[in-house]
Chain A
Amino acid sequence: MSDTMTEVSDAQAEAYLQSLIGPIGEEVQTLVELGAVRRMALCVGDHDPIHFDEAAAKARGYRGVVAPWPLLWLYFFTCTIYEHDFPFGKATVHGQDDYDFHEPMIVGDVLTVSTAMVDAKLKHGKVGRLGQVVSERRFTNQRGELCAVLRTTLFRR
């Protein structure tokens, strides 16, 4: 093989992966916007009135219009660094996601989004060398309440 995989030793690949551990980028603050909530709710087919109507949301005990949880992906893509310049392998695959949900995200909230790499390891499998990295994004509202944690696993092969 003549791709970059052969040019980077396992030790170098391992060292690169370990260098990723820790915070990624700065914390970012972002407003939960009504239009964004509506677009995502319609996109995923969630027609619960709490995503569209403030009165309906308040009648159900919420502070205001509630964001559907898939809206986390808007903030994932617009507020965080999610690509890495791996010095080995040819392709990066989005393997899996783990979500923990806490306080609802409400229109008008200002979220603080922080990102960290929490795990990175090198594996050897049937298809050869495989890098596995797990990044964690934490979403906290302006009241200091944790809304959600999203852990994303990427594979590099």
Chain B
Amino acid sequence: MLNVETVEPTRRCFEDFYEGQDLPVVTHGPMMVGHQVRWAGACDNYESEFHHDEYVAKAQGLPGIILSGPLMASYLLTAVVQWMGRDARLVKFHDQNRGSTMPRDVAYLRGRVKRKYEEGGKAFLDLECRVENQRGEVTTPGSAVVELPRR
């Protein structure tokens, strides 16, 4: 069986966060066609040739290969999970595919605590998050609701 070096996430609690807090930037890339191919394999979906064949992409009028929107959103969702720690529960996630990510782009995943509150005896954070490229363009804006344990 494939050996994977796993990493036990840090436990974080509601008290560890404050409104307006910037979360650590996560960097992916430079993105390569291989990232897209790996995503296609994980989704068992190879139908959209423009995602992995530059000739086809250009023939369809695109500037080149475009990486999958759900791939970039999944990186962002995973960053949210990792920012929040091992005992957090992701409740909701939203993303928009606003801009393209192409091979050799760098993806900077950024997040901020927008709101911190309690509801029904449970503790929640509302997060704003986004994927930006090396030009500062927001390609994937998003948001999330996370339930956190109390200390």
Q: Render A78-110 as a binary contact track against B, CB cut-off 8 A, 1 for contact.
A: 100000000000000111111111000000000
Given the known interface contacts A39-B41, A47-B5, the answer about A101 and B82 at a Cβ–Cβ threshold of 8 Å is no
Is A101 touching B7 in the complex (CB atoms < 8 A)? no
A42 to B7, CA, bound (A): 12
Binding site of B, secondary structure by majority: helix, strand, loop or mixed?
A: mixed
Interface size class of A (residues with CB under 8 A): 35 or more
Chain A hits for B93, CB < 8 A: 69, 97-99, 101
- Count residues on chain B whose CB falls below 8 Å from chain A CBs: 34
From B6, which residue of chain A is reached at the shortest CB distance?
A49
Is A96 touching B6 in the complex (CB atoms < 8 A)? no
Cβ of B69 < 8 Å from any Cβ of A?
A: yes
Interface residues of B (CB under 8 A from A): 2, 4-9, 28, 38-39, 41-45, 69-70, 73-75, 77-78, 81-82, 86, 89-97
Question: Can you list 26 A-B contacts (CB < 8 A)?
Answer: A42-B4, A44-B42, A44-B78, A47-B4, A48-B6, A48-B81, A49-B7, A56-B6, A60-B86, A68-B81, A69-B77, A71-B42, A73-B43, A73-B70, A73-B74, A74-B43, A78-B43, A93-B97, A94-B97, A95-B96, A96-B94, A97-B70, A98-B94, A99-B77, A100-B91, A101-B91
